[in-house]
Chains A and B, each alone.
Chain A
Amino acid sequence: MNAIIVSALLGVVMMFSGIFTTNKTIIKNIATVGVLVLLAANLMEMYNLFSFDINTHDLIVTQRYGLFFNCIAYGATFIYLVLSASDITEVGVNVAEYFALIFFVLCGVAIISSFNGLLMLFIGVEILSIPLYILTGADKRNLKSNEASLKYFLMGAFSTGVMLMGIALMYGATGNFGMVHNAGIRGVITASQQPPYLLVAGVLLLFASMSFKVSAAPFHFWTPDVYDGAPSVFTSFMSTIVKAAGMLAFIRVFENQYMVLGPTWHIIVDFAIVTTLLIGNITAVFQQSVKRMLAYSSIAQAGFMLFALYANNTEIAKEGMLLYAAAYSLATISIFAVLIKLQDYTLDGFNGLAKKEPVLAFAATVSLLSLSGIPLTAGFFAKYYVLAGAMQAGGALWLIIVAVLLAAVSVYYYFRVIQAMYFKAGDPETLPISGGFKAALIGVAALIVILGIWPSALLSWLYF
């Protein structure tokens, strides 16, 4: 509960801070401290020190797992703000509002990690999404940003409709908004051999709309355009923390719901994984713009995260989801932080970066190695855990082999950036880079390596 209340309050605080001061640095600092406060509040609940006691009639149930996910999301947001807050203040004039919207998104994250019923899921997903439509269009004078925002909004609204339809059908079949482990619904399934068609249709619609939210194929079409059009700072936020939260919602809502689909479930998830991996990886190979490449890469990474969905409920897959969220967020936030500092987002724009800004190039390299899943970086263990989870759950070996082969494809496009930075000559123009920024980048790189050697550093928090 703490996270939901504090993040909502902080959002309001940020909104009003815009009235009292126009000093960007102050606003930025309030937001950064705000995230720390939020993190502290969440930790307090995690360690049973203090929590708001509100009777939600079981609509919200906080669990260690969800609270820990909040910590990862807020920790990643903190790193994101440290690296990129000053770039957020450059996007437009209404600086305070951007931060306010970010806090509202974090409120959505908190709801998603603790919902206990389809109604709260819906509210959480919407609280998460609506601020993003605005942030995407934050660069008001840029046509691409406007287009992206409109596209995202229209398609997002449509997918919301689909989700509501699904929830309504499920409600119709079962008579309540609970999830499958709810006794009432389980009764409906087991009473008749074949679950009612309404329920099946509802679950399928829910699957489609959740796929949309995490940009899993074949509902990924909005992703490249929106990620490309949105101001880069916000793309960074959307493609990491928000995406991980969406994935968490996906996994939590299907934790038991998959039973409704019976054996068809695996066919559907197999299809989603393979197409997502294929489309993400293969299309990314052909991109000339690094920003667009990262958009496709985020589709590809979603494909790997879907393995956690595939392996529903195995311990290792649940841990893997957390690790994946952390590893992927850290790496992508840091590579976007570097990207923002460059004027030219094409591959050639990275030429010779290692000579000019060795620290930036080094941090970007560590991030890219992590994204491609090379050992000694967090990305390796993230991939390892989700794949091991899928295998433990009796997953088909062909699916895993396809996944690792496509991971080898991903090396191709990630390494092209490394090649541009280190092996090609050029003189890239960069925005002014402060010493603090470099130190923070090195810190993130160190974190990626530490998680790559010793993932228990993160995961043991789940239990202690």
Chain B
Amino acid sequence: MIPVLLLFIPLVAGILGFFIKEQKAASNWAIVASVVTLLTAVIGIYAMPASMHQFEASWLPNIGASFSVALDGMSKMLVLLTAISMPLIFIATRNNNYTNPGVFYALMLLAQSGLIGVFISMDALLFYFFWELALIPVYFLSSIWGGEKRIAVTFKFFIYTFIGSLLMLVGILFVYLHTKDQSFAWSSFTNTDLLSGQETLPFILFFIAFAIKMPIFPLHTWQPDAYEQAPTATTMVLSGVMVKMGLFAVIRWVLPLFPVASSAFAMPIVILSVIGMIYASLIAIQQDDIKRLIAYSSIAHIGLMAAAIFAGDTLGLQGVQVQMFNHGINVIGLWILANAIESTLGTRKLSELGGLATKAPTMAILFVVLAFANIALPLTNAFIGEFLLFNGLFQYNIWIAAVAGVSIILGAIYTLQMVQKVLFGEVSVVTANATEINSYSKWVLIVIVIAVIALGVYPQPLIDLTKDSVNALLVIK
């Protein structure tokens, strides 16, 4: 029952939200709805018996599709991430004003519902449904409330993902026709009569869709533009949660379905991911716009996770799941900072900022901690995740691990450069009248920073949450 609730609370709240006209009311409504979802998720995952974690209902019996959802080891982590992210995002951006606020928050909640649906569906057709449905609200959010070039950029993003998902649909059909019982269920999909040579084609069809979503070099070109142009609250959803759809889908649908093809194609994919990491890091160093910098840094981090998935090591897979969660909350923290800077100072350009440490000391402390987390220093949550990832990569191929390691250094360069240009140095014209960030953002950031340090010191809860999923995967392999 729990997964159904997680799906329908934001969905219903979103639909009702369309009718709210007033800014504060809409914001409150979204916060209440997302907090209720969060409570349901936490209570559901930790306090309810496993029998409550599954739900299955008949949907289209004649073609073998059913409404089958489950909170299993693979999905718990990301459902939790989605549930935690939304209230943080809503509270942190509470001071932002939107035209038609009701519609804005309604679409955000619908996006949340779609995302949770992607993570919990255990039926390929249902998964495809949610995969598309998570996209539609984001398309409208970015196109209506985004920056100057929003229409063209969001459209590019949409078409890119849509092409990917259509190819995935062909892949789904292909596998479906090879299932033994003509069913879309995950269990039937993992147990097909595909010969190992036949795996290649559907593997490619599935993988392109997920590679676009992650994104893996060279399919990443939609991402920096989309992040830059989307309204910041949407960007947080995009980079905090939505890019994890691609990684998650590989773990859920690609590895178990096509084990042979996955290991056959592992090397090129790992190499592409590592190229992407280095490439994105090098570009990030050159960026003057904070949003673009975070976007490229995000590509680098996702690249590492993608590489570790295909390097195919138990610890590495666990690391990916832990890191997906950690990256999610860390990057949301960075976006909150970017949003705070932009909304108080009216610019995102590093060259126009400087000396904020003296003007806004609290923000400076929070900023520095998050920056450290972005470079995965020990004591921050990202350390343990990246450690596991590099460990997996190291055992896969020492040279690739070494090259990937360069991105850590590059990451330190661009992150510290950003810290330096924003917080230290001369006070510029723009920052002369800077004030402390608003209390909503501040408290959310404090929560995030506490989580960063707490999970950095004691990451065991996250690792426990992923254990059974990785074991399940190994059984299939």
Contact B60 A391 (CB under 8 A): no
Chain B 131-153 interface mask (CB, 8 Å, partner A; 1/0): 01100100010011000001100
Is the beta-carbon distance between B170 and A422 smaller than 8 angstroms? no
Which residues of the partner chain A approach B62 to less than 8 Å between Cβ atoms? 456, 459
Of A72-80, A155-163, A405-413, the one contacting chain B is: A405-413
Query: Closest CB of chain B to A415's CB: distance in Å?
Result: 7
Question: Which one of A374, A392, A407 has the highest number of Cβ atoms from chain B below 10 Å of its Cβ?
Answer: A374
> Which residues does chain A contribute within 8 Å of B159, judged by CB atoms?
408, 411-412
Q: Which of A374, A407, A412, A455 contacts B60 (CB 8 A)?
A: A455
Determine the chain B residues whose CB is within 8 A of the CB of A369 once the complex forms: 136
A388 and B173 in contact (CB under 8 A), knowing A375-B128, A411-B158? yes
**B166 located at the interface, meaning its Cβ lies under 8 Å from any Cβ of chain A in the complex:** yes
Q: Find residues 267-304 in chain A having any chain B CB closer than 8 Å to their own CB.
A: none
Pick the contact of B144 from A316, A415, A422 — CB < 8 Å?
A422
Given A401-B167, A422-B140, A375 contacting B162 (CB threshold 8 A): no
B279 lies within 8 A of chain A by Cβ: no
Interface pair B173/A391, CB less than 8 Å apart: yes
The answer on a CB contact under 8 Å between B173 and A375 is no
Chain B residues near A454 (CB-CB < 8 A): 59-60
A148 vs B269: C-alpha distance when bound (angstroms)? 55
Which positions 302-339 of chain A face chain B at CB distance < 8 Å? Answer: 316
Given A411-B159, A419-B151, A456-B60, answer yes or no on A404-B170 (Cβ-Cβ < 8 Å).
yes
Q: Output the nearest chain B residue to A452 by Cβ-Cβ distance.
A: B129
Check: B177 CB closer than 8 A to any chain A CB.
yes
Give, as a whole number of angstroms, the nearest-CB distance from A37 to chain B. Answer: 32
Category for how many chain B residues contact A: 20 to 34
Query: Does A387 have its Cβ within 8 Å of any Cβ on chain B?
Result: yes
Residue among A376, A387, A397, A408 making CB contact with B201, cutoff 8 Å: A397
Q: Are A400 and B158 in contact (CB under 8 A)?
A: no
Query: Does A423 sit within 8 A of B, measured CB to CB?
Result: yes
Contact check, B63 vs A423: say whether CB atoms are below 8 A apart. Answer: no
B8 proximal to A (CB < 8 A): no
A387 contacts which chain B residues (CB < 8 A)?
A: 169-170, 173
A330 CA to B133 CA, complexed, in Å: 21
Q: Which of A223-279 contact B (CB under 8 A)?
A: none
The interface bits of chain A over 370-382 (1 if a CB of B lies within 8 angstroms of the residue's CB, else 0) are 0000111000000
Q: Report the Cα distance A400→B63, complex, angstroms.
A: 19
Instruction: Report yes or no: B60 in contact with A415, Cβ–Cβ below 8 A.
Output: no
**Does B424 lie at the interface of the complex (its beta carbon under 8 Å from any beta carbon of A)?**
no
Of all chain A residues, which has the CB nearest B169? A404
**How far in angstroms is the closest Cβ of chain B from A60?**
30
State the CA gap A124–B63 with chains docked (Å).
34
CB distance B143 to A423 under 8 Å?
yes
Q: Could you say which of B132, B150, B177 contacts A374, with CB atoms under 8 Å apart?
A: B132
Known: A419-B151, A456-B60. A384 touches B140 (CB 8 A): no
Q: Does B394 contact A (CB under 8 A)?
A: no
Verify B170–A400 contact, CB threshold 8 A.
Answer: yes
CB distance from A122 to the nearest CB of B (A): 36
Give chain B interface residues in 152-175, CB to chain A under 8 Å: 155, 158-159, 162-163, 166-167, 169-170, 173-174
Q: Are B166 and A405 in contact (CB under 8 A)?
A: yes
- Residue from B59, B151, B176 whose CB has the most chain A CB atoms within 10 Å: B151
What 1/0 flags go to A415-437 for Cβ under 8 Å of B? Answer: 10001001110000000000000
Q: When chains A and B are docked, how far (Å) is the Cα of A415 from the Cα of B155?
A: 9
User: Which residues of the partner chain A approach B59 to less than 8 Å between Cβ atoms?
Assistant: 454
Q: Are A374 and B155 in contact, with the CB atoms below 8 A? A: no
Report A429-464 residues with CB < 8 Å from chain B CB: 454-456, 459
Which one, B128, B143, B166, contacts A404 given CB within 8 A?
Answer: B166
**Given the known A-B contacts A376-B133, A391-B173, are A408 and B166 also in contact in the complex, defined by CB atoms under 8 Å?**
yes
A residues 343-401 in Cβ contact with B at 8 Å: 369, 374-376, 384, 387-388, 391-392, 397, 400-401
Q: Within the assembled complex, what's the spacing in Å between the Cα atoms of A49 and B166?
A: 45
A407 adjacent to B166 (CB under 8 Å):
yes
A397 and B200 alpha carbons, distance in the complex (Å): 13
* A400 contact set on B, CB distance < 8 A: 170, 173
A297 CA / B49 CA spacing, docked (Å): 52
Inter-subunit contact A316/B170 (CB<8 Å): no
- A392 in contact with B129 given A374-B136, A404-B166, A419-B143 (CB within 8 Å): no
Instruction: Let me know if B167 and A375 touch, CB within 8 A.
Output: no
Asked if B170 and A397 sit within 8 Å, CB to CB, the answer is yes
- Contact between B132 and A375 (Cβ–Cβ < 8 Å)? yes
Contacting pair B129 A415 (CB below 8 A): no
| 17 other A-B residue contacts (CB within 8 Å) besides A375-B129, A375-B133 | A316-B63, A369-B136, A387-B173, A388-B63, A388-B177, A392-B177, A400-B170, A404-B166, A404-B170, A411-B158, A411-B162, A419-B143, A422-B144, A423-B144, A423-B151, A456-B62, A459-B62
Closest 9 CB pairs of A and B: A404-B166, A375-B129, A408-B163, A375-B132, A423-B143, A423-B151, A391-B173, A408-B162, A400-B170
Q: List 16 A-B contacts (CB under 8 A).
A: A375-B129, A384-B173, A387-B170, A388-B176, A388-B177, A391-B174, A397-B174, A401-B170, A405-B163, A408-B162, A408-B166, A419-B151, A422-B143, A423-B143, A423-B150, A423-B151
